[in-house]
Structure 1
Amino acid sequence: MKHFVFIAVVVTATVTAAIAGDEVAQHAVALRLPSTPSNPRNSEGDFIRLNDGRILFVYTHFTGGGGDHSSAHLAGRYSFDGGKSWDDIDTPVLESDANLNIMSVSLLRLADGRIALFYLRKDSLQDCRPVVRFSDDEAATWSQPREIVPDSQIGYYVLNNDRVIQLRDGRLVVPLALHHTPDQKKPDWTGRVLCCLSDDAGKSWRRSKSILQAHDQRSGKRLIAQEPGVVELRDGRVMMFVRSNAGSQLLSHSRDGGATWTPLVPSTLHSPTSPATIERIPQSDTLVCVWNDHAKISPELRGKRTPLSLATSDDEGMTWRPSITLFDSPDGWYCYTAIEFTEDAILLGHCGGDRTKNNGLAESQITRVRWSDLGDVRP
């Protein structure tokens, strides 16, 4: 496999951000993945902690342009110190085996000890489906891809990065948005959301019974429902959060492990049409959400993917503490965040481009937020 060399910028300066009044949080940009003419975009990655203590970040390395359908492969960077610093040269992970590209990574340590690598294999605007590979040697090699969506259900599906979860009972849940099927004359970018489920560690898959659309509760007008994510709650329910143009993230809940879902309803997570990421701090009752908090956004920034915000909840997402602003450049484009928890920090892998210089998705970074700067919220 060709070794792709990429120059990274490691930022050691500490950045400060205001938290709810006079409190101040500090966070460091541990790695920048800037774009170049031959590598016009780096985006949509995820973390995995390896058994030897290293952390691997796998992301989508574009080579044929900065658009979603441009050619791309998967590349990785390693950290040997808990995410404080990172390799400055890519490690090849997967070459593309698709007509257009492969992109949008979810990495998951399975209950059986293997690592699962989920990503989108995009052959056309009529055929974009998630696949999964497995590694039993700590991400050194990968199995052949296994299809999650069969040919009989071909379509244009979207699986965001850092989205796949394994429930306490072992079930794998893959949240998807569906935008095109063979019976449609043109793509439906408004979107429907569903899940694919596996009860045998990814050997076989089935679709959820529920396929959801979103509608305005007053007018009945259809709303955007895209890029869903899921998190398991303490009582065994699964909560789905969905990007929308409703002015907030939409929520749905499942009591049967993702097979059926309640109707999508607005949440208190005010946002533009931009995805959120919600994960539980391991072995805790606390959820962490990273998103673009628009609860008090100024008129000139409405609809933009800024600021990048972090908030926590101790009641399973019913309410959220006041958010922390991590980055707030008016030209920043902060989205597609992966979360990894370490002993002393939260690692965030996210897009952070400048809309005055590129499409905003061109550049990604790893941001390190120390637990000591988050008050009582500790792992």
Structure 2
Amino acid sequence: MKKNRLFVFVGFFLINIVNPSLAQELLNPSQVVLHIGKEGANPRNSEGSFIQLNDGRILFAYSKFEGGSGDHASAFIAGRYSSDGGNTWTKKDEVIVSNEGGMNVMSVSFLRLQDGSIALFYARKNSLDDCTPYMRISHDEAVTWSEPVSIISDTEGYFVLNNDRVIQLPGGRLLAPVSLHKVAGKDFSMRGRIYCYYSDDSGETWQRSMELPNPKEVVLQEPGLVSLKTGTIKMWLRTDRGVQYLSESHDNGNTWQEVYASDIPSPRSPASLRRIPKTGDLLLIWNNNDGSIDGKASFRTPLTAAVSKDEGNSWIHIKELENDPDGFFCYTAISFLDDEVLLGYMAANRLELKEKIPLVLRKMSLHEFYE
């Protein structure tokens, strides 16, 4: 036994000399660092986002539901902090945004703006006819927040802005991709009308892009954005067609090309796509199935990661992160910490969705996504 320990120690010592980052990864394999809602009374915890603060702490905010597990139950925006790179987290929730909506506030996006301030985006849901994304700004590292500004002022309706979705382009423009599902006097439609709202004055005022062309009337929902190295903005969307759908804008989000099918298998479930700062590659987190498992288009397992080295044209290093056949994994938030990655996502049992929806924070080495 002592001899084996000596070999392990010597091996690790040599690795540390040759490749210190790999040695650190061996010490810190993928691990769940926080499990919110597995125990406790509140029925649902979901749709969060990370922000790294200037004092070294990390804030994770999420939708904490109290009145039920459905999208229209009472909820507020809660926050937890980490002071050690995401290894441990505060035990109690801090109220980031109280429930200022007739139904709830939910679905958080943080964004560090180019002027150094922090933007917070969330949905304020008053009724089935009125769900509107709002923005607040903090100039003191998330200690206090400005009064909310509505992203949408040109019409009233039920707009969906997913968590961890808003981006800022190199020129300063903010882009918020939304899906409109209902206006007063009309029935709710699963086929969303897709727009990007954009701001060129740090969020003080917002304008609407052209509607995403959808001549084949595909069911489109929950859009997300990534800025490509060419300057093209790529949008991805969940559908019921067994794959993720895509569109592109070549004018900073003003106009969009006709939506088309990708070759990324997917149920009717959202994907998350971010650029890896360390490598410049793209990281995709999604449910790698075509929706045909048990005939359920919303079957959200396994939770899978893949990397693209060619701006999303192809995907490699496909890796399962969660593979419970009864699992329900979705709405992933992503944060990069040099050689490590933090993920936050719903991690429920699909048979218990009406009773309990926990949320998991997972810490991984960047190296794991390239294995």
Question: Common fold, TM-score beyond 0.5?
Answer: yes
Could you tell me which amino acid in structure 2 is paired with residue 111 of structure 1?
Answer: Q
**Whole-Å Cα distance in 2 between the matches of residues 61 and 168 of structure 1?**
33
Q: Deviations over 1:88-138 (max 9, x none)?
A: 111221111111100000000000010000000001111101000000010
| Structure with greater Cα Rg | 2
Give the aligned partner of residue 213 of structure 1.
Answer: 214
Q: What is the aligned-residue identity percentage?
A: 45
1:229 to 217, 220, 224: 224
Secondary structure of residue in 2 paired with 1:374 = helix
Give the aligned partner of residue 192 of structure 2.
Answer: 191
1:171 to 143, 168, 173: 173
Secondary structure of residue in 2 paired with 1:373 = helix
Cα displacement (A) at 1:81:
1.2
Residues 370 and 225 of structure 1: is their aligned pair in 2 closer, same or farther, counting only changes over 3 Å? same
- 1:156 lines up with 2:151 in the alignment: no
Cα displacement (A) at 1:225:
0.3
**Whole-Å Cα distance in 1 between the matches of residues 356 and 42 of structure 2?**
12
1:58 to 61, 70, 77: 61
Give the aligned partner of residue 89 of structure 2.
Answer: 86
Cα displacement (A) at 1:359:
4.0
Given that residues 237 and 253 in structure 1 are in contact (C-alpha distance below 8 angstroms), is that contact kept between their aligned partners in structure 2?
yes
**Whole-Å Cα distance in 2 between the matches of residues 240 and 223 of structure 1?**
15
Q: Which structure features the higher share of helix residues? A: 2
**Whole-Å Cα distance in 2 between the matches of residues 284 and 209 of structure 1?**
33
2:115 to 101, 112, 128: 112
Give the aligned partner of residue 246 of structure 2.
Answer: 251
Residues 80 and 37 of structure 1: is their aligned pair in 2 closer, same or farther, counting only changes over 3 Å? closer
Given that residues 198 and 204 in structure 1 are in contact (C-alpha distance below 8 angstroms), is that contact kept between their aligned partners in structure 2?
yes
Give the aligned partner of residue 21 of structure 2.
Answer: none
Could you tell me which amino acid in structure 2 is paired with residue 172 of structure 1?
Answer: L
Could you tell me which amino acid in structure 2 is paired with residue 165 of structure 1?
Answer: I
Give the aligned partner of residue 105 of structure 2.
Answer: 102
Give the aligned partner of residue 345 of structure 1.
Answer: 340
Root-mean-square deviation (CA, aligned residues, Å) is 1.9
Given that residues 53 and 59 in structure 2 are in contact (C-alpha distance below 8 angstroms), is that contact kept between their aligned partners in structure 1?
yes
Cα displacement (A) at 1:284:
3.8
Give the aligned partner of residue 204 of structure 1.
Answer: 205
**Whole-Å Cα distance in 1 between the matches of residues 275 and 284 of structure 2?**
9
**Whole-Å Cα distance in 2 between the matches of residues 305 and 361 of structure 1?**
16
Cα displacement (A) at 1:60:
0.5
The TM-score normalised by the length of structure 1 is 0.87
Given that residues 191 and 213 in structure 1 are in contact (C-alpha distance below 8 angstroms), is that contact kept between their aligned partners in structure 2?
no
Give the aligned partner of residue 332 of structure 1.
Answer: 327
2:71 to 68, 72, 75: 68
Q: Deviations over 1:40-72 (max 9, x none)?
A: 110000000000111100001111111100010
**Whole-Å Cα distance in 2 between the matches of residues 310 and 124 of structure 1?**
35
1:357 to 345, 352, 360: 352
Cα displacement (A) at 1:323:
1.2
- 1:285 lines up with 2:280 in the alignment: yes
Secondary structure of residue in 2 paired with 1:52 = coil
Secondary structure of residue in 2 paired with 1:372 = helix
Give the aligned partner of residue 16 of structure 1.
Answer: none
Cα displacement (A) at 1:212:
3.7
Could you tell me which amino acid in structure 2 is paired with residue 149 of structure 1?
Answer: I
Secondary structure of residue in 2 paired with 1:356 = helix
Most deviating of 50-59 and 351-360: 351-360
Residues 37 and 66 of structure 1: is their aligned pair in 2 closer, same or farther, counting only changes over 3 Å? farther
Cα displacement (A) at 1:211:
3.6
Gap runs ≥5 in structure 1? 1-24, 216-221
**Whole-Å Cα distance in 2 between the matches of residues 360 and 272 of structure 1?**
23
Gap runs ≥5 in structure 2? 1-27
**Whole-Å Cα distance in 1 between the matches of residues 181 and 37 of structure 2?**
30
Secondary structure of residue in 1 paired with 2:274 = strand
> Where does structure 1 differ by over 2 angstroms across 4 or more consecutive aligned residues?
35-38, 210-215, 297-303, 356-361, 372-376
Give the aligned partner of residue 305 of structure 1.
Answer: 300
Cα displacement (A) at 1:362:
1.3
Could you tell me which amino acid in structure 2 is paired with residue 191 of structure 1?
Answer: G
Cα displacement (A) at 1:85:
1.6
Q: Deviations over 1:224-262 (max 9, x none)?
A: 100000000001010000010111110000001111001
The TM-score normalised by the length of structure 2 is 0.88
